[in-house]
Amino acid sequence: MNRVKLYGILFFILAVACFSCKKEYSLENARLQGNAIYSLLDSVGNCSTAEVRGTFRADSTLSDSSYVNIHVNFITTGKYYFTSDTINGMWFLDSGYALVSGPTVIKLKGFGQPILPTVSNFLINNNSHGCGFIIAADAGDDYLPSTDASSWRFQYIPAVQSISGATIDSFDVKVTPPQIIYNSKNYIQYATSLLDTFYFAKQSNDYYEFGTLDFDYTFVFDKVDNFIEYIYLKTNQPVGTTWESPTIGVNYGAAWGLPSVSGTVKDVFTIVSENTTHAVAGNTFQNVIGVRRDIMFQATGTTSYIKVMDGTAWYAKGIGLIDQAINLPGGRIENIPLLRWNIK
């Protein structure tokens, strides 16, 4: 009899416990049912500022440290799901429960990998206010990619004629071994499809060429006495910084329908822009530095230099040279934009 009563008491206790647990579980679920109502606007009706964190590099999968913090004001509690549109191979999202109302920060995790080093404008949940954030994907940390087999294709606008008379509207550049050592610098060889070879090196924040004083991947003189080393790009100097190359002996003029004259030439470089965007052939590049090059010629027997031509080159981080605009003799302008590239 006592055993029966004991079983009855135990059953009663278990029943009460189960009922209590079920009641608590139901209340918790009821509290989290439904979608939260929220706003992405601040107190004065503007889109709340989003904070972009991490590294966004072309052709590199986003890591856990690449994310965006958005500021959300929850008007009611409930489930939430925030996602961006997919642009340039990337998207951002997070989901969960808003347990309390009021302002908070939601971390949108990044997925995918940027395709191009360009600026992308993301919209959150396709909202009508246009609230979102901007991601500027870059292409690396160097203005002179030097990995073997990396390649670039440039266009001539307008097309040019070779010595043989053939029309050339584009050319390719490719990193090819071997490298050479000059003045304790490791020069990388860049060969073109036009069978020309150029040598570039980096030391700290200065970028060097071992070659002639022409524009990048071009020749403008009739004859050059020898190769020299000079800085063509500085990445730690402000806009307006100017420097000169050493001088070399050249013959100049015949290539432009003028009498060929011997003399010496030097290049004067000036930083005209930095940390800007630059659009080329449908692509917008970030972290671009613009450098003007004035080619100064002193004819043999004279006492001063005169400018015979000038041009501006633009260099993008992780890509290198992306564009050139050269003012040639006779008022002719030659543009040499980058069409495509493959950084290994």
Q: What is the pLDDT of residues 199-225, one digit of tens each?
A: 999 888 899 999 999 999 988 999 999
- Contacts of 170-173 with C-beta under 8 Å, sequence gap 24+, read 170/339, 171/217, 173/198, 173/217
**Lowest mean pLDDT segment, chosen from 48-62, 274-288, 315-329:** 48-62
Residue 8 lies in a domain: no
Looking at the fold, whether 278 and 156 belong to one and the same domain comes out as: yes
Looking at the fold, whether 250 and 273 belong to one and the same domain comes out as: yes
Q: How far apart are CA 169 and CA 176, in angstroms?
A: 23
Looking at the fold, whether 183 and 113 belong to one and the same domain comes out as: no
Looking at the fold, whether 301 and 162 belong to one and the same domain comes out as: yes
Question: What is the span of the domain harbouring residue 124?
Answer: 38-136
Looking at the fold, whether 260 and 193 belong to one and the same domain comes out as: yes
Q: How far apart are CA 103 and CA 106, in angstroms?
A: 10
Residue 16 lies in a domain: no
Please, which pLDDT band fits residue 6 given cuts at 50, 70 and 90?
A: very low
* Last residue within a domain, chosen from 136, 168, 192: 136
Looking at the fold, whether 110 and 157 belong to one and the same domain comes out as: no
Q: Give yes or no for residue 13 having a pLDDT over 90.
A: no
Q: How far apart are CA 87 and CA 56, in angstroms?
A: 13
Looking at the fold, whether 266 and 200 belong to one and the same domain comes out as: yes
SS3 readout for 272-313? EEEEEEEEECCEEEEEEEEEEEEEEEEECCCCCCEEEEEEEE
**Lowest mean pLDDT segment, chosen from 130-139, 260-269, 292-301:** 130-139
Looking at the fold, whether 181 and 324 belong to one and the same domain comes out as: yes
Residue 160 lies in a domain: yes
Residue 261 lies in a domain: yes
Residue 310 lies in a domain: yes
Looking at the fold, whether 51 and 199 belong to one and the same domain comes out as: no
Cis status, amide bond into 158, omega within 30 of 0: yes
CATH code of the domain containing 250: 2.40.360
Looking at the fold, whether 256 and 115 belong to one and the same domain comes out as: no
The residue among 135, 139, 132 whose CA lies nearest residue 49 is 132
Mean pLDDT confidence for 159-169: 79
Total domains in the fold of the chain:
2
Residue 22 lies in a domain: no
Looking at the fold, whether 167 and 57 belong to one and the same domain comes out as: no
Can you count the helices (H) and strands (E) in the chain? 1, 24
Q: Which residue has the tokens 């050339």?
A: 168
CATH code of the domain containing 66: 2.60.40
pTM, 2 dp: 0.63
* Last residue within a domain, chosen from 136, 168, 197: 136
Of how many residues is the chain composed?
A: 344
Neighbours of 294 (CB within 10 A): 18
Residue 175 lies in a domain: yes
- At 33 the pLDDT is 66
- At 28 the pLDDT is 43
Looking at the fold, whether 122 and 266 belong to one and the same domain comes out as: no
Neighbours of 18 (CB within 10 A): 10
Residue 33 lies in a domain: no
- pLDDT for 77-129, tens place per residue? 999 999 999 998 999 999 999 999 999 999 999 999 888 767 789 999 988 88
Q: How far apart are CA 41 and CA 304, in angstroms?
A: 64
* Last residue within a domain, chosen from 79, 107, 136: 136
